[in-house]
Amino acid sequence: MARIQLNVLGLSYSQTQSGAYALVLTEQNGERRIPIIIGGCEAQAIAIALENLQPPRPLTHDLFYNFARTFEIKLKEVEIYKLEEGVFYSKLICSQGGKEVVIDARTSDAIALAVRFVCPIYTTEEIMAQASMVMDSSETGDDLDLGEEDKPAVTPTQEYSRFSLRELKSMLDQAVRDEDYEKASLIRDEIKRREQQSQ
C-alpha cells in the first residue's frame, strides 16, 4: 500500500473548547491537510520543538529523546496507520544495532518525538481520504478555519509590540527559565516578525 509523507504545518487552539488543540499535518507533495485534536501538554511539547526552545530541564519527550540517543536507539519514522471512531493510531519504527522494533504510541506523542528526532511521518491514502481537507495552495496555517473563535496557538501579539528587540530577547530568556513556553513562543514570534521586517 502506498504511503504518504506528512509534514507538521502548525498548531491551532479553540477558545470555545478549553484545552483543545489541533495539530495540523499536511501531505508533502499535495494540498491535503489533516487536523488532529490533541491535549495541551502534547501541543506544548510539539510547539517547543518546532520553535527550537531549550527548556532549562528536559521535558518528558526530551527525556525520551536523550534516553534513546544515550542507548543508540534511532527513531527511523512515525506511521499513522489507523483511524477508528475519530481516533488516530500511530507507531514508532525504531532501530538499535541493526534490529528494528515497532512501538505503539499515541499520535500526539509520536509527532512530538518525530520533530525531535527529525524523522519522517507517514500515513496511508485511506486515512488521508477519510480525515483530510483540501485547502487552496495560497493558504497558510494561519488561514486554517477551525471555528469562528479559533486562532493560531502561537502568534505575535500587540502586547509585545511596545518592547524593543533587546527587551524582547531578555524576556524570551526569562520565559524559558520560568518554563512558560506559551509566552516564550509568542515573544519568539514577535522577534521573528521584527527581524523579517528589518531585512
Amino acid at 1: M
Q: What is the number of structural domains in the chain? A: 2
Q: 147 is in which domain, residue-wise?
A: 3-153
Query: Residue 133: in which H helix or E strand, if any?
Result: strand 133-134
The pLDDT tens digits of the residues spanning 72-114 come to 999 999 999 999 988 999 999 999 999 999 999 999 999 999 9
Asked if 124 and 187 sit in the same domain, the reply is no
Q: Are residues 9 and 71 in the same domain?
A: yes
Partners of 172 in beta bridges: none
Cell of 112: 512530538
107 and 178 housed in the same domain: no
Residues 109 and 172 in one domain: no
User: Does 104 share its domain with 173?
Assistant: no
The grid coordinates of residue 144 equal 486554517
Is the pTM here over 0.85, yes or no?
Answer: no
Q: Please indicate, yes or no, whether residues 19 and 110 belong to a single structural domain of this protein.
A: yes
Summarize pLDDT for 47-81 with one digit per residue, the tens: 889 888 888 888 899 999 999 999 999 999 999 99
In a 13 Å sphere around the CA of 26, the CA atoms on its Cβ side amount to 16
